[in-house]
Amino acid sequence: MAFIFIGGICFFLFQMSLGTVSIPIDEIIRFFTFRELQTPIYRTILVDIRFPRLFAGFLIGALLSLSGVFFQALLKNPLADPYILGVSSGGAFGTVLSIAAFGSGTVLSRFFGNLPLVSFLFSLLAAFLTYFLAKRGKSVPVVDLILSGVIMNFFFSAATTFVIIYGWRNVSSATFWLLGSLSGARWEQVPPLLFIAGVGLLIGFALSKTLNAISLGEEEAKNVGIEVERVKLFLFITGTLVAAYTITITGIVGFVGLIIPHSARMLVGSDHRKSIPLSVFLGGLFFTGCDTIARSLFQPTEMPLGTITSLIGAPLFAVILKRSRRFR
């Protein structure tokens, strides 16, 4: 644990030197020890460009991974991730609609011009529809929830394609949202992210034992006193809000919320008291690591972040899967 933690922090610091301009490590050390930098411009690059991107990236990765933990406990399905219930395709549709309608001169363009808000609302709309499609009386069966999510994902993905082909203006900007990017990260996004991550982590700690019980199955959870339907609704709402919020900043970045919780479980076991902190930490590291690659290896352009997370994540996950005897 300590090894992972220290290694992670070193890795995080190392990433500060990488980018369009590479900054020597000793300059970064100088910066952190409050000494004068040999090349003063590096200070501006670090403070105005690298830091917000790294910090926002770390927090978003952490949140996606936490949301993944919640969804995997809620759905008791190893394939569950923050996007499985339609949040991502709803958000993508909202975004594309927003871009397509923006500047069209209609009354709606003012509302649709607020891209993050539209994306957020459509994410929530998709999740809400999924939930009500799956609801059976007082309970929400998990299998129905997953199937409803599949329906919503198909529907909104198709609708997204429809808008892209039908009313298209700015294709490259759509790729940016559909495959994710951190290039929109700003300092002012960091405090709200920090706040949400803090609250999310507290919820995670408070619910650890409940999540353990619910992982044994719904009847077993009731057997040890868990109000299962209430917990499921709570996990659904928090997981969805968190995922929808991250989408407004970076677009859809797949794989993080799926593999990081699994990787954490393989490393320290399924007890959420241990796996949640590790998931959150690894999620942040993985996200910034992938972003560093996305922004520094393909200059002068940037590779979409979602492409890198999947390209790196898939083989990494395969290795962990093969090595871990604990995984089924």
Partner 1 sequence: MNRDRPVERDAVISVDGIHFQYDSHPLFHDLSLTVRESEFLSVIGPNGSGKSTLLKLILGIMKPSKGRIAVFGKDIGKMKRKAISQLVSGVLLDFNPAYSFSVEEIVAIGRTPYAKAFSDFTREDRIAIEEALEKTSLLTLRKKPFEHLSSGERQRVLLAKCLAQKTPILLLDECVAHLDPGHVQQFLEVVRDKNRKEKITVVTVFHDINLASLYSDRIVVVDQGKLSQTGDPVEIVHQRLLENVYRAQATVLTHPRFDVPQVLLNRLDRPQKPAPDLIHNELPKSKIL
Query: What type of residue is 40?
Result: P
User: Nearer Cβ to partner 1, position 30 or 222?
Assistant: 222
User: Nearer Cβ to partner 1, position 262 or 295?
Assistant: 262
CA 236 to chain centre: 15
* C-alpha triplet 126, 131, 137: angle, nearest 5°: 155
User: Nearer Cβ to partner 1, position 109 or 223?
Assistant: 223
User: Nearer Cβ to partner 1, position 158 or 224?
Assistant: 224
Nearest-angstrom CA–CA distance, 126 and 207? 26
User: Nearer Cβ to partner 1, position 64 or 207?
Assistant: 207
In whole angstroms, how close is the CB of 139 to partner 1 at the nearest point?
11
In whole angstroms, how close is the CB of 196 to partner 1 at the nearest point?
19
Q: Which residues contribute to the site for partner 1 (CB under 8 A)?
A: 72-73, 76-78, 205-207, 209-210, 212-213, 215-217, 219-220, 222-227, 265, 269-271, 325-328
The strand pairing partners of 136, in sequence order, are 139
Q: Which of 57, 40, 16, 126 is nearest to 283 (CA)?
A: 57
In whole angstroms, how close is the CB of 13 to partner 1 at the nearest point?
31
Nearest-angstrom CA–CA distance, 119 and 208? 30
Cβ–Cβ under 8 Å, residues 258 and 179: no
Within 10 A of 47 (CB to CB), how many other CB atoms are there? 12
The strand pairing partners of 139, in sequence order, are 136
